[in-house]
Amino acid sequence: MIDPEALASELDIVVRNVPGVVSLYSTAPAVVSVVRQLTEGPEGGTLVTVRSVQGVWQVAASIGVASSVQAPHTAAAVSAALLAAIPAGLEATVTVRISRILS
């Protein structure tokens, strides 16, 4: 049995460890982040989103990348790392969104 929160927490670390990733942002709507901070404290919650829709696991990450590496390469590396970190046998898709490119 997969615990989405636990998997999301692991995937947060996976994304942060990809070379070229300098920040990870919330994929949840901003209002959810605000409420989450109020209820869970400043460190509450994961930033990568994991959910199961009709048996397919959908993973979404919003990242900030370093301008020293070509942004499309970093996005591809993040998607590869996420797919590799998803437990074998699970049907999954990943969405990687670059939200900032930082100098």
User: Measured between alpha carbons, how far is 10 from 34 in angstroms, rounded to an integer?
Assistant: 22
Distances (CA, A) of 7 to 10, 14, 65, 87: 5, 10, 23, 9
Smallest gap from residue 79 Cβ to other proteins (A): 4
Identify residues 32-71 at the interface with other proteins (CB under 8 A).
33-34, 36-37, 42-44, 47, 62, 64, 67, 70-71
The size of the interface with other proteins (CB under 8 A), counted in residues, is 37
Smallest gap from residue 50 Cβ to other proteins (A): 14
- DSSP secondary structure code for residue 47 in this structure: S
